[in-house]
Amino acid sequence: MLQGWIQIAITLLVVIATTPFFGRYMANVFMEERTLLDPIINPLERAIYGFSAVRSPTAGGSPSQDEMTGWQYAKAVLYSNLIMGIWVYLILMTQGWLALNPTGLGGPSWDTALHTTFSFLTNTDQQHYSGETTLSYASQTFALGFLMFTSAATGLSVGIAFIRGLTGRPLGNFYTDLIRSITRILLPMSIIGGLLLILAGVPETLAGPATATTLEGTTQVIARGPIAHFEIIKQIGENGGGFFGANSAHPLENPNGFSNLLETWAMISIPSALIYTYGVFANNRKQAWLVFWMVFVIFVFLVSIAAVGEFQGNPLVNSFLGGQQPNLEGKEVRFGWAQTALWAVMTTATMCGAVNGMHDSLMPPGGFATLFNMFLQIIWGGQGTGTAYLFIYLILAVFLTGLMVGRTPEFLGRKIEKKEIVLASVILLVHPFAILIPWAIVFGFPDTLSGISNPGFHGVSQVVYEYASAAANNGSGFEGLGDNTLWWNLSTSVSILAGRYIPIIALLLLADSMSRKQAVPMTSGTLRTDTRLFTGVTGGVILILGALTFFPVLVLGPLAEAFQIARGG
């Protein structure tokens, strides 16, 4: 037991140690300050700017010439995503005629291809297929791998634009932010991380499947491919879609303890550092650290309850074994209960969605923690957008506390008024609608739509997890659910699109509104947001507004299942 907790503690210490350094670097990138990579990246960016006709931010003239309003930024996001989605859908449907298809796979069904396109386009990467038996190397690399960079960069760009607006700056230019996100953050990290994964034993080859003779004398075909580069951007970009159906539980995606540590850190590296990046933009690192520790405390609590649940195991199974044993169902022995529990909470907290064990086999505390993360979306949240959602809760906390003391609420010296509260409400209300409405429809027609493999309370969790994963742009699933059907492909696509683009538009409009407000001087009556008291109030607002919205679902799912197991049922 002690070894497992030490592994968890070491991983968390690495996250804490790297957060300020990486956060400062990202602030330098998007504030257009000098970085160590400038001599290498500047020529590459000049070539990209020249090819794409996007104006370089250092090309001279007034930078404001290319700055976008909230609507312009949102339309740029939508138009670019539309073009990329059409391109990827065509690749998937025609993969049977394309090169780099050593196993001769044909195209998937139209609805599977559509769901896959929407899923990877939105940084969700929810998979209703098994990669090694459905997609060619070309599809994995030039379609899904391409979207893993662009979808992550899109979310990061929106998060940075929101931070700019919140701190009184113009929102910037989406295309410039997209390019800088890839060239200065995602690509360098992926090159270094990919090389480390190759050293750890992850394959990177265009050769077809390998054929081996087993000890029993039978023939086994082992799938392989260009995995290392795919795996690292999967983790860094919080994409989560696996090259193999088993995802990071597969030994060719995640072979050992070192690769597991690297991939775990990669999931949280950008979301945790973005909070510090905000502190640099706002010139208020104190508030950034307070927000960081608030999120960290909630995260550690969820990791603890999930880990304890897996360590104690299933009492029904323990009664047959004659003593307490960890729950190792659905887990890789090389990771054990501790690293599987940490990964499960981490991947749903960061909206990555990659798995190194099967979530359908988690004990109820683990199911509770993973669902709780996806319901809130701010511990640590999605790529860029999660940080924005977190500050939406801060804005609402300012508004509520301002009402209680009879003052006009202000955040960073700018008044919070009706328009900001309406937009913040839209951002928070889209999520439950995208989850609970289709969830209710499924249980209205359980025989024809559900696909539930485990009836009872666990079946409730299977269904709500699928829609929560889609709406939160997470992508993981309780894989006992039979989800590769026309209903699941189309209904989750609606949740995916609603959960991605409606909040992004509202975030950008809110940021644009805040950027145009005149800052008011701070007085003795101004509510300070960089105090422990206000941070505690924000934590309470998060739990009240976020958690209670989904409390009935948690009661019907993991909480009821926990009581059922405890009673011996």
Confidence of residue 54 (pLDDT cuts 50, 70, 90): confident
Are the C-beta atoms of residues 443 and 449 closer than 8 Å to each other?
A: no
pLDDT above 60: residue 336: yes
Amino acid 78: pLDDT: 97
- pLDDT tens digits, residue range 448-497? 787 888 878 998 999 999 999 999 999 999 888 888 899 999 999 999 99
DSSP one-letter code for 54: P
Average pLDDT, the chain: 91
pLDDT digits (tens, 9 = 90+) for 12-23: 999 999 999 999
Residues pairing with 212 in the sheet: 220
Q: How far is CA 164 from CA 32, 222, 233, 260, 281, in A?
A: 13, 49, 26, 34, 7
**470 contacts 478 by C-beta, under 8 angstroms:** no
For 341, phi then psi, to 5°, come to -65, -45
Q: What does DSSP assign to residue 361?
A: G
Dig out the tokens for 456 from the structure: 């009872």
Question: CA dihedral defined by 409, 294, 384, 9, rounded to 10 degrees?
Answer: 170
CA distances from 120 to 34, 152, 380, 387, 496 (A): 32, 10, 20, 20, 10
Q: The pTM is what?
A: 0.94
Tens digit of each residue's pLDDT (9 = 90 or more) over 380-433: 988 888 889 999 999 999 988 887 777 778 888 888 989 999 999 999 999 999
Amino acid at 122: T
What confidence category does residue 268 fall into, taking pLDDT thresholds of 50, 70 and 90?
Answer: very high
**pLDDT for res 297:** 96
Token pair for 495:
């949740």
